Structure 1
Amino acid sequence: MKLFWIFNGTKLKQYFVIVVAAVFAVGIAYAEKQNVSVFTSQTGPAAIYKVDTDQKKLALTFDISWGEQQVSPILEILEEKEVSKVTFFLSGEWTKEHPEIVKQIDELGYEIGSHGYKHINYSRLNDDEIKAQIRQADQILHEVVGKKPTLLRAPNGDIDKRVLKIATDLHYSVILWDTDSKDWLRPGVEEIVQNVVGKAHRGDIILFHASDSATQTHLALPEIIDHLRKDGYEFVTVTELITDAKVKAKPID
């Protein structure tokens, strides 16, 4: 009888672990679905996620909010592959801690956009807190690179109508993405490559990360760059992409 209970106890623990893992996975999927579901077709403030163009142009974008180990390898790949036009979205908090890296990014000629100050979800903040996050990042980026950013990508892409209105009032264009490399999940180099080259299209805005969680990004980049170039794509900054092009936006209800 004692052995029976030990056996069942072990089984119960195994079942418990499986159930917890399943619930966690469903929770992530639900959260991602919720982030997408807030976008509607109604008239209102809009976040840009791609542009409608006949030209084979797209924008590679990199978010950075923590760490310094992955930035240099990515910059080295971009220089090696002679990709001179990409856009980095930098958090104010990270910029304050790594001003020399930010200056290097700027001196290399890459576009710099704001990723807010702290990496927190803006939809959970009140209006004054949202304004403070954007303005604080604005001030720090201006101090470090000498110019005010005009693009904003909210942390986690978490936005609502309030965030869009506040950002617009502060003279920002809110930028999302249409192709997600999912590099921060570290799914493997080949999967990152396929996540991008399998979905990239004209006028696309592609999401990468250069934070320390994205340890496989620099390994996938060479193949991605080569593949897209072979397909005839030109790499441009987000600002260049959205200038003189018909914007595809996701209005917020």
Structure 2
Amino acid sequence: MNYFLILNGKRLKNYAVIILTAFVTAWFFYIQNLSFSAFSTDDGPKAVYKGKNGIALTFNIAWGNSKAEPIIDLLVEKDVKAATFFLSGSWAEQHPNIVEKIAKAGYEIGLLGYEYLDYEEVEDKKIRQDILKAEEVFTKLNIKHKKILRAPNGHFDNRLLPIAEKLGYTVVHWSIDSKDWKNPGIETIVNNVSEAKAGDIILLHASDSAKETAVALPEILNKFSESKTNLVTISEILIDGTANSKEITD
């Protein structure tokens, strides 16, 4: 016995629309909740220091409460949609209101460890504990953070990379150092950042020790606005799949 299935064209079109809508919705939620594992290559995990499209503004915060909020306010005022803050867990514990302000402004949050440790100088177990302790802080604060990690003082060796990878983190360095942590003068900070090109990750600080960053930032943002620079988050650099990595030598 033969059976024939007759489909109404209009009904088939409706089914197709429903299926397509469900697929797009599922993909949207997937992207929104995507966490990035360590940036791996055939030779193992490496630290990401540069992308391809856009420029990433990143701010480290490890201590103080007077510089961070003016910087957040300025970014919001200048309608900057994309910025990434790397926060130390111990600082976040002491300043949950500022962490919440960063999150509510829509800016991305990554980890800067818990203590301000030199990852080159401590044993593997201590590095792992430091990362997990920082992660625990953000869980308790109910603040979502991306699985991106920056060595607290920028110093690390090959040992950090597999540790981070096992914990699901990508190690993120930078390609442009504003040197704002040296307080070299506003003009110098602006000039250092002005050298940034597409794909660069810029290191800035919102800790109280960086006294000139908030003053230099308006000029930096104005220059980016004039040049129609596309500012992106670290996650956008990673998801683009074009991030560059560096071999770290001991």
Query: TM-score interval w.r.t. the shorter chain?
Result: 0.7 to 0.9
2:18 paired residue number: none
Aligned mate of 1:189, from 186, 193, 198: 186
Deviant stretches of 4+, over 3 Å: none
- 1:1-253 to 2 correspondence within 5 Å? 43-53=43-53, 57-197=54-194, 199-253=195-249
Q: State which drifts further: 205-214 or 240-249.
A: 240-249
RMSD across aligned C-alpha pairs, in angstroms? 1.6
What's the CA shift for 1:156? 1.4
Seen in structure 2, the aligned counterparts of structure 1 residues 134 and 182 have a Cα distance that, compared at 3 Å, is same
What's the CA shift for 1:63? 0.2
Contact 2:103 2:143 in 1 (8 A): no
Contact 1:90 1:113 in 2 (8 A): yes
What's the CA shift for 1:250? 0.5
Normalising by structure 2, we get a TM-score of 0.80
Contact 2:52 2:237 in 1 (8 A): no
Normalising by structure 1, we get a TM-score of 0.79
Higher helix share: 1
What's the CA shift for 1:145? 3.5
Q: CA deviation digits over 1:76-115, x for unaligned, max 9?
A: 2111111121000000000111111101111111000000
What's the CA shift for 1:148? 4.6
Contact 1:141 1:149 in 2 (8 A): no
Structure 1: runs of 5 or more not aligned: 1-41
Structure 2: runs of 5 or more not aligned: 1-41
What's the CA shift for 1:247? 1.6
Whole-angstrom CA distance in 1 between matches of 2:185 and 2:142: 34
SS at match of 2:120: helix
Whole-angstrom CA distance in 1 between matches of 2:74 and 2:143: 26
2:37 paired residue number: none
Whole-angstrom CA distance in 2 between matches of 1:148 and 1:64: 14
Higher gyration radius (CA)? 2
2:10 paired residue number: none
Contact 1:84 1:109 in 2 (8 A): yes
Matched pairs, number: 209
Whole-angstrom CA distance in 2 between matches of 1:105 and 1:145: 13
Whole-angstrom CA distance in 1 between matches of 2:229 and 2:46: 26
Seen in structure 2, the aligned counterparts of structure 1 residues 207 and 148 have a Cα distance that, compared at 3 Å, is closer
Q: Report the identity percentage.
A: 45
What's the CA shift for 1:52? 2.7
What's the CA shift for 1:181? 0.6
Amino acid corresponding to residue 43 of structure 1 in structure 2: D
Contact 1:44 1:251 in 2 (8 A): no
